[in-house]
């Protein structure tokens, strides 16, 4: 008699294989199976991510092997690192060794916000930063819209608020630049894992990659924690108009700070109520200009001059207003007045 299909969650990807944790134990109490992917999934281009729920067949309990026959629809997907069904994204940056780069931190927060999951900000290596720097960054993060936590893997008491938050049911992802201590934090939260860690490069003050793949670890009943490889170039949204939603301080602005037009990019457009008097304005503008420049390079319709396209003004790119919102230049007004004077209307 053929073994009926089983359901499980992908907890690690290794080359052409994946480890799947079963939602119901096997005959001998097996909790995990090493699986390949059916050819039809590969031919259809269907990707498998860590965190995906999958259907298994061809199970060999004695060998601990099976094949992924189908992938269930995913929710709240991170593209980089590739994780599906994310409940919480925890952005980790170090207060020292390496020092915080506000632009890089903002990029990671944007990547996290795009997922639609809850976003937390954690400052690691708090013991190296000193109390003054810790308080400065906690207050600054609060102005950005994040009730951040400062932790140290060497001070167990500092980890308790983070442990309580990550112990909630769901899948939490730790992400951030290389060398900020993500694996050290997981080792402190789950000592039995003994994940490999490495020191930061002394010359370049850059982190060294110690995590080579995404893997899920059980922190509490129903609570999974993902360690991810460090990287320094997060993925930004392709649509420049989606950037505002990735900044909590803009997303939750009060009614008296709402702009006149819904597609306002907060770059001095008519009716803009946001202005420049907020901490991350320069970081937002720098990121926006990068997205607008990319859109101009790759979006052919944007070069036609139609409403809603982009135009170059000085050394920056900005959206072209629709015709009803454009103001005629003074030169154009003079030319129109001269034309009307030289060629008066014959009506009447």
- What is the predicted pLDDT for the residue at 146? 95
- What is the predicted pLDDT for the residue at 65? 93
Can you list the residues of the chain whose pLDDT is less than 50?
196-211, 300-308, 314-316, 324, 347-348
Q: Which domains does the chain have, with CATH numbers?
A: 6-71 (2.40.50.140), 88-227 (3.40.50.300), 240-325 (no CATH)
Contact 196, 113 (CB under 8 A): no
The 10s digit of each residue's pLDDT in 146-194 is: 999 999 888 888 999 999 999 999 999 988 887 787 878 888 888 877 6
The Cα–Cα gap between 98 and 210 comes to: 15
- What is the predicted pLDDT for the residue at 312? 52
The CA-atom distances, in angstroms, between 189 and each of 4, 89, 118, 180, 182 are 37, 16, 20, 16, 11
The 10s digit of each residue's pLDDT in 24-54 is: 888 888 899 999 888 887 777 778 899 999 9
The Cα–Cα gap between 299 and 273 comes to: 29
- What is the predicted pLDDT for the residue at 298? 62
- What is the predicted pLDDT for the residue at 318? 54
Gap between the terminal Cα atoms of the chain: 97
Contact 176, 210 (CB under 8 A): no
**pTM for the full model?**
0.74
């Amino acid at each position: 008699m053929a073994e009926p299909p089983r359901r499980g969650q992908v907890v690690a990807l290794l080359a052409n294989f994946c480890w799947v944790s079963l939602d119901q134990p096997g005959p001998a109490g097996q909790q995990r199976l090493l699986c390949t992917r059916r050819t039809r999934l590969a031919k259809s281009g269907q990707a498998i991510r860590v965190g995906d729920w999958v259907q298994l067949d061809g199970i060999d309990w004695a060998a601990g092997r099976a094949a992924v026959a189908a992938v269930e629809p995913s929710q709240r997907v991170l593209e980089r690192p590739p994780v599906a069904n994310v409940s919480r994204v925890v952005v980790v940056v170090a207060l020292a060794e390496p020092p915080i780069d506000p632009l890089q931190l903002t990029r990671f927060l944007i990547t996290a916000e795009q997922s639609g999951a809850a976003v937390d900000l954690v400052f690691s290596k708090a013991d190296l930063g000193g109390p003054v720097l810790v308080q400065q960054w906690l207050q600054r993060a609060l102005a950005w819209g994040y009730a951040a936590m400062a932790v140290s893997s060497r001070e167990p008491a500092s980890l308790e608020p983070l442990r309580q938050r990550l112990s909630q049911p769901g899948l939490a992802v730790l992400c951030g630049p290389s060398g900020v201590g993500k694996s050290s934090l997981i080792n402190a939260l789950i000592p039995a894992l003994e994940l490999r860690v490495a020191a930061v490069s002394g010359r370049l003050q850059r982190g060294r990659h110690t995590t080579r793949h995404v893997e899920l670890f059980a922190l509490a009943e129903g609570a999974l924690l993902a360690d991810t490889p460090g990287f320094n170039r997060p993925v930004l949204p392709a649509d420049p108009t989606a950037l505002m939603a990735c900044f909590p301080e803009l997303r939750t602005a009060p009614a008296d700070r709402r702009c006149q037009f819904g597609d306002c990019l907060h770059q001095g457009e008519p009716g803009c109520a946001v202005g420049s008097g907020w901490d991350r304005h320069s970081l937002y503008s720098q990121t926006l200009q990068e997205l607008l420049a990319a859109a101009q390079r790759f979006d052919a319709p944007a070069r036609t001059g139609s409403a809603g396209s982009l135009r170059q003004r000085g050394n920056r790119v900005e959206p072209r207003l629709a015709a009803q919102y454009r103001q005629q230049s003074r030169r154009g007004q003079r030319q129109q007045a001269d034309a009307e004077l030289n060629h008066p209307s014959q009506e009447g």
